Structure 1
Amino acid sequence: MSTSAAVNPFASAKADLHEVLANLRRDRPVMEMTLPTGATAWLVTRYEDAQRALTDPKLGKTTSAGGFSYRDMVPPDVASAVSRHMLTINPPDHTRIRRLVSGAFTARRVAAFRPRIEELSERLLDEMEGSDRLDLIDSFAFPLPIQVLCELLGVPSEDQASFRRWSDAIVTGGVNPAGLPPALIAIVAYIRELLAAKRERPADDLLSGLIEARDNDDRLTDDELISMVYLFLIAGHETTVNLIGNGTLLLLAEPERWARVVAEPELIPNAVEELLRYEGPVQSSTFRTAMAPTEIGGQAIPEGAFVLVSLLSANRDGDRFANADQLDLDRPVTPNLAFGHGIHYCLGAPLARLEGQIAFHALTRRFPKMRLAVPVEEIAWRPGMLLRGLTALPVIPG
């Protein structure tokens, strides 16, 4: 196997990305690639290797993973405030923070939000009614999860537009770095003000729960609190935006698929799992760093090397999934890596799945004749290495 660094495969056209990744799975399943920062990382593309990499205790988190560090672009207090969440730290701190956060982000709190998610969905669909053409991302896929998250956290709904600007700048920062520093500074300042207000006037929301979260005498530090709210606001809504957008595109791309889900709504829970597998909302894991020499798929990984796991590629691995390149709404549910694996598995996955199921039930019921407004080939994907989502989804509601 060649170990010479290659150009970043994620720089290719998004529509061709699956083909690029399929070739890598076949020919170079663990490949050293060049990152936009100029650093190199080992890209893992097969399911079995990906699963092992995500649970390898020798692969940990560092503040400069991938040759990228917030400390190089924002004041130290801002960098610290966005670098102490569960995706950036290792045990035992990770174990402690996840335990504290899980105590506030309970299954009961998520399940109790179902009626409100359904109500918000219906309200957005009411606003879409009668439109000749609209962008489903702007009209539905973005506002639904951000409204849900704002209410769950206790964030004023009038701040949604600001969150979208900040979030877009942050998730595309790897390819559009100029907008990243002001977005980070702005979102940290906002979260600090929000936490101060919640300390004075606590409520029955997740943010108040995080402030009060404790395990005996242990509780979240200020930086950990800000970092966790930052993680929830960015990752917590972006994944659901992409699940709804990507999934609707796949269903509408072949009208008989859409017609079938309209006719058989009981398929939707299973369909959500297949949509997550086939075109998941997160294309790559966050970076790992080899804390000691290790091995992945027969390839030696030296200490200090960066590792990037392609979740998108792993979920199309034919050694794991039969007919992996086919979208099969009847596929038996088989665990996939759409939300990661191991200790960093996405804490918000149950909420994203719930929102996705509610969204597809609502869309197919209210707009059974919906169709794409442009050819599939004209629909563009957002830039970046981490997330897999659309810039827009033009539809005719019908």
Structure 2
Amino acid sequence: MTDPQSTAFPHPRTCPLRPPAEYASLRAERPVSRVTLASGRTAWLLTRHEHIRQLLASPDVSSNLALPGFPLSFEAPPEILEQYRPILVSMDPPDHTAQRKLVVSEFTARRVNLLRPRIQEIVDERISAMLAGGGPVDLVEELALPVPSLVICELLGVPYADRAFFGDRTRKLVSISVDPEERNRANQELNEYFATLVAAKEKDPGDDLLGRLVLKNRETGALSREDLVKMASVLLIGGYETTANMISLGTVALLENPGQLARLTADPGLAPQAVDELMRYFSIADQVTSRVLLADIEIGGVLLRAGEGVIGLNASGNHDEAVFPDPERLDIDRGGRHHLAFGHGIHQCVGQNLAKVELETVFTTLFARIPGLRLTVPVAELPFKDSSGVYGLHSLPVTW
């Protein structure tokens, strides 16, 4: 039932390179407020950095989207939720702890740094192909999607030739405008694909992440066959969807801020902090920090009751003036590594080290090799993913 005190959510963007304007007024006037989602459910909305961190660090919240009260942004049939099996990102301790332990060693900074030479090769190969073909090109198709797709496919042991299949299904899963039946069908098809792949890995593990996961699981027994299948899907989707969107968005932001781009190209050593700033600036997975309360919690002087849904808005917290002065200005010298774009607490993104290395490599290499890169249409005419749960671009026409 709709709460008469709530407002409709999500809020539309008035500028594609900025969070919705309502976020700033909410931070100032109603930092803890009620909203009604497209699914018809109501939830609490948190817009200040400190409140979002408090939520994500609390042991009294759950990430299990099948629980009543979870702030689902889309309508899900009851029979689907009844069959839902939590996996990693939608799990709570101690099960979450056991599952995360199986994969976290694959994404340490040390292990990811060993992949830098291969990531550099992939980026160089894609840029060389762009240059050989000549402009204009769609940077999403030629670089933003292929780079993280190739990296995660090689890492997991997934055939890259199947990228069109899982790319199509993934886009349906993250879209908030797709028909529920179509979303469920895409999810089922992905499960069937990974069930076949996991079965093959069980016979011949090989030297890749999924193969090592199968071997570890033989020792621990932490995952069922269904869990292995779900884990493979989560790692694949998480490994390329967000990074691909950040490549295209980050390229636009740097082109629109030539002073910042000049700083980066003059000193590629600034790449790590430039990536952190771009992650803060866009915060593309704005609602990934949705939770449901397991106990009463007071946040910002407001009592939130057990069973109620809460959304900590990443993009709002990362534009909180109390933490990031002049937040709508892109500033690669900001040094704001305490942003929330990768989450906070026990569910902080397990693959963030990999994403950072990919983004650092792309941005330093792209603008060094194609210094004349430019958009072929104004930013306002670019096709942004306004109806997706992960913000990005459908295409990015560029030339040089």
Task: Compute the TM-score of the two structures, normalised by the length of structure 2.
Answer: 0.91
Aligned position for 1:29: 31
Cα offsets for 1:187-236 (capped at 9, x unmatched): 00000000001111111100011111249644322222122111111122
Cα offsets for 1:9-67 (capped at 9, x unmatched): 33455636332211211122112111111001111110000100111111112314225
**How far did 1:361 drift?**
1.4
Aligned position for 1:368: 371
- 1:1-398 to structure 2, matched below 5 A, reads 4-13=5-14, 15=16, 17-62=19-64, 63-64=66-67, 65-67=70-72, 72=78, 79-80=83-84, 83-129=85-131, 130-173=133-176, 176-214=179-217, 217-384=220-387, 386-396=389-399, 398=400
Distance 1:49 1:3 in 2: 24
> Counterpart of 1:87 in 2: which secondary structure?
helix
Question: Where do 5+ consecutive residues of structure 1 fail to align?
Answer: none
**Taking structure 1 as reference, are residues 11 and 95 closer, same or farther at Cα in structure 2, changes over 3 Å only?**
same
Distance 1:267 1:324 in 2: 19
Distance 2:170 2:380 in 1: 26
Give identity over the alignment, percent.
Answer: 37
**Taking structure 1 as reference, are residues 244 and 173 closer, same or farther at Cα in structure 2, changes over 3 Å only?**
same
**How far did 1:378 drift?**
1.3
Mapped contact 2:173–2:183 kept (Cα < 8 A): yes
**Taking structure 1 as reference, are residues 44 and 136 closer, same or farther at Cα in structure 2, changes over 3 Å only?**
same
Stretch deviating more after TM superposition (330-339 or 192-201): 330-339
Distance 2:244 2:174 in 1: 13
Mapped contact 1:10–1:385 kept (Cα < 8 A): no
**Taking structure 1 as reference, are residues 313 and 289 closer, same or farther at Cα in structure 2, changes over 3 Å only?**
same
Mapped contact 2:11–2:20 kept (Cα < 8 A): no
Cα offsets for 1:254-310 (capped at 9, x unmatched): 334333422332222221111111112322224211111112211211221111111
Mapped contact 2:75–2:180 kept (Cα < 8 A): no
Mapped contact 2:296–2:305 kept (Cα < 8 A): yes
> Counterpart of 1:42 in 2: which secondary structure?
strand
RMSD: 2.3
The number of equivalent residue pairs is 392
- For residue 114 of structure 1, what is the amino acid of its counterpart? R
**Taking structure 1 as reference, are residues 266 and 300 closer, same or farther at Cα in structure 2, changes over 3 Å only?**
same
**How far did 1:179 drift?**
2.7
- For residue 32 of structure 2, what is the amino acid of its counterpart? V
Task: Compute the TM-score of the two structures, normalised by the length of structure 1.
Answer: 0.92
**How far did 1:3 drift?**
8.1
Distance 2:196 2:81 in 1: 18
> Counterpart of 1:270 in 2: which secondary structure?
helix
Distance 1:255 1:104 in 2: 36
Stretch deviating more after TM superposition (32-41 or 129-138): 129-138
**Taking structure 1 as reference, are residues 54 and 175 closer, same or farther at Cα in structure 2, changes over 3 Å only?**
farther
> Counterpart of 1:36 in 2: which secondary structure?
coil
Distance 1:240 1:198 in 2: 26
